[in-house]
Structure 1
Amino acid sequence: MIKNNQKLLNTLHFVIDALAIIFSYVAAWYIKFRSGIFELGAWHLSLQEYMRVLIFLVPEYLLLYYIFQLYTPKRVQGRRLEAWRIIQANVIGLMTFILVLYLARETDFSRTMMFVFFCINVFVEVVGRNILREELRNIRKKGYNQKHILLVGYSRAAEQYVDRIRANPEWGYIVRGILADNKPRGTEYRGVKVLGRTENLSIVLPENKLDEIVITLGLAEYHKLEHIVGMCEKSGVHTKFIPDYNNIIPTKPYTEDLLGLPVVNIRHVPLSNALNALLKRGVDLFGAVTALLLFSPIMAATAAVIKITSPGPLIFKQERIGFQNRPFLMYKFRSMVVQDEKKEKGGWTTPDDPRVTGFGKFIRKTSIDELPQLFNVLKGNMSLVGPRPERPQFVEKFSEEIPRYRVKHQVRPGLTGWAQVNGYRGDTSIRKRIEYDLYYIENWTLGFDLKIIFLTFFKGFVNKNAY
């Protein structure tokens, strides 16, 4: 059964990690003292004294790997999450070891060697685990190390779960069938059949041939949930619950404990965390100041050309809706002739719009007209990365058409965003744009921001949909 396989795999993984730590440490010692890369001073500790440290170092790192959940099944665990946990564990391991050296007043032990060990060990662990991941996936594709599961309840959640399993055979899941009260026996979905009614669980569970029960009841059947969970818990079979609310709450909810009462939050917004928000704000300030210094010659030249070619102000200010539905004035280089405010609010810019100046077409296509928004970032109205803000009249219109539209206002709007680097700028699908914006809001990380900024230089500046 899969449980025994997992125990064997964890034991093997434990041994491989121990060997990887030893290898990385010995390699670091060789690079520091024998490779010639680093300047050698006088040796104060012998090779034996350095190697003796492994007696404490290996258990410390293995314990950290266990704490950071690096021995959980890899079937659906993401590569990036695993790599991030490896880095975290190694950072704490390195800091702990250096602290011990400091408290012990050990000045002869090479800190450089420990830093080299950190770099090698992170690399070896990440590469090694990815190799192991690929080997496991290949084994599962061939029909070995499979996890046999039974679905209880026929619903949209059941179909979506089967869809994902069929699309990812490397996970090694075998769906033995479905027990359902709302479908006749023999009903089939993508090769998975309804085997009987939910009460048949009392017959199936004692046979002990299943690795996992997945409860996929429809919303109308939730009154059966307590009884079904009770049967599963009594048998000791690992049980999962997939709520059938994907069309009601189509995002990433998360739970919190309110004195023993589980509370489901409909949407996970990482930037609601004060530390994350502070970190993002720091990056915004640094990035805006740096960008202003880098682009100041372009901005000065743009201002001069606008002044020469078209009478009127250099900067165009327009009301947009931002963080927490608050209006603010967004800045742009003026790309149109000066016009009546009511006409300006009339609608979208169209191809060959007579209001756009000759130079205005160029700066709109190249996004140079957006550069003054760096001052919006400094003021705190905007961020470097986030959903693009819209005018009040369009916010009202889109809010009626797209129920989740205003969710984008839970974070600061940005100069660029995930939707924009994926091609959704200007006259493109608002619904698709919102899908990308919601994905960004719920999956924000500092690394994700940096990725979007990087992609903006290749995909985000030139806009074929800008008129």
Structure 2
Amino acid sequence: MRTENESVPRPGRTAPPVPAPRQNPGPPQVLYTEATFPLTLLAADAAAACAAAALATPGRLLPTADLLIETGALLPALLLLNGVGGLYRRRLSPSVLDELPALAGRAAVAVAFAVTLCGCLPERWPSFATAAGLLRLLTGYLALAVTGRAAAYAALLRRRRRAPRPVLLLGAGDRGRRVAAALLAHPRYGMRPVGCLDTARAPHPDGPPAPVPVPVLGGCEVLEREIRRRGVRDLLITTDTAETADPETAAAMRTAARLGCDLWLVPGLREYGALPYGFRRPAHGDHLWGFPCLRIGRPARHRPGWAAKRALDRTAAAVLLMLAAPLLAACALAVRLDDGPGVIFRQQRVGLDGRVFTLLKFRTLRPASAHESATRWTIAQDRRMGRVGRLLRRTSLDELPQLWNVLRGEMSLVGPRPERPYFALRFTQAHPGYADRHRVPAGITGLAQTHGLRGDTSIEDRARFDNHYIESWSLWQDITILLRTAATLIRPDGS
């Protein structure tokens, strides 16, 4: 038994080293490989295209300038077409033979584009633009690309077997048991199930299910803790369709996506629908030892183009604030002369992830109290509005100060319109899916507004349009919404 004197090191003696707590190192090698593997495929395709272009005209050595121009026309088109076609996405069961038709078709289109582009340049008709040259170019590219991809897939499968990624299963029923058993028996998929979460709400009608070959860690409430604790990078959703649509299960899926996990839906043979708001329906299928496996698209703000949207927001807001400075000054002066001091109206609104921020507008009327400002529904023809206020409302010029909110990162140019906390709570309770609008930053304009849903209009319709915008988000959609908004600014239907 240790005494008090023994627990304190004496002078001149070195205390025994305290072992550092063990950290879960995870599988860094495989994470690196899985994350950068699309770049490996892209490099293989690029090398194959360059080599095929150089070898397409045997018997004479191409000048360097000609080769660079022809390859420069071919390579970007080829890689872009392959990327758009999903040839660089992560797959659980990769197969070069399955990809061969897509590789051949996209290579033919890219070569046709390169020939057309080079033909438009003076005296730059591509050297491979003959029947024999085109045949050599296409067959050479396909042979080299297939060889390179086959070697890359073989290396990936070896690494997957050596160090599989830890995965969680959402669903401890019969399907989860069979999927877990298949993953344990077949390490080629690079997934090592470390546990499952039970989402069942009621007793199983056929009695207790068979035991799962991995530990049942609890319900959805422990998901975030287990993902962080075990270094999980994939979540397999093995619940049935009704459970997938359950709000708690949908929240668990969003939590996993927020933590950077890839989500895979493992449905039954007839269960391919009913995904909650926030996840795109998958366009490409895969399988885990015969089980259909569909990768669920990540929420909008976790997609690669989202960073470009945020950069565009702040850049455009800064430029518009400078260009619109005279108009802002004129509006401010008109409000001051028409209704006295207090030109800017500040109001609490609900934004991204339910966080409250202060929205800025030009004041169009003076509320009787702060309580009225927070809880009274805005109507378009409020009798307290003066002539300047009506003009600002009708032309939406009262929204111009929100460019400052965009510049601060509190809002976006395009997104769901933010609501006051009092009404946001009421609408969330009354309309399913309303709270899902808060998955992205609020916007100055949005898809609902371009369809006339402004002011005193249907909240259910607004929520439906806003969620559709988030589901189908793209930069081009933002541009079209901004163009439509510009065309409707003079319509007297705003509020």
When the two structures are superposed, what TM-score results if normalisation uses the length of structure 1? 0.50
When the two structures are superposed, what TM-score results if normalisation uses the length of structure 2? 0.47
